[in-house]
């Protein structure tokens, strides 16, 4: 069984973990209502997605 010969330094451990942080959500602008929404998601405000209205919204 493989066992490390020497202890790994804190810098090497930190360099390995540098990509593990939580990244912010990617937001894009809806072309229908100009509101920021997550990418690849139907707009919850106007129902617009990929150049067309997918979900009809009820006016309240």
Task: Please check whether residue 49 is in contact with residue 43, taking contact to mean a CB–CB distance below 8 angstroms.
Answer: yes
At residue 59 the predicted structure's pLDDT band, cuts being 50, 70 and 90, is low
Give the predicted TM-score (pTM) of the model: 0.53
pLDDT digits (tens, 9 = 90+) for 3-41: 999 999 999 999 999 999 999 989 999 988 899 999 999
Q: What pLDDT does residue 37 have?
A: 93
Q: What pLDDT does residue 8 have?
A: 95
Q: What pLDDT does residue 19 have?
A: 94
Rounded CA gap, 39 and 25, in Å? 9
- In the chain, DSSP assigns E strands to 27-29, 36-38, 48-49, 52-53
Residue 47 above 90 pLDDT? no
């Amino acid at each position: 069984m493989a066992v490390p010969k020497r202890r790994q330094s804190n810098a090497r451990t930190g360099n390995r973990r540098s990509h593990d942080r939580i990244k912010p959500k990617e937001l894009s602008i809806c072309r229908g209502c100009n509101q920021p929404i997550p990418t690849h998601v139907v707009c919850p405000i106007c129902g617009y997605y990929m150049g067309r209205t997918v979900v009809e919204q009820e006016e309240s």
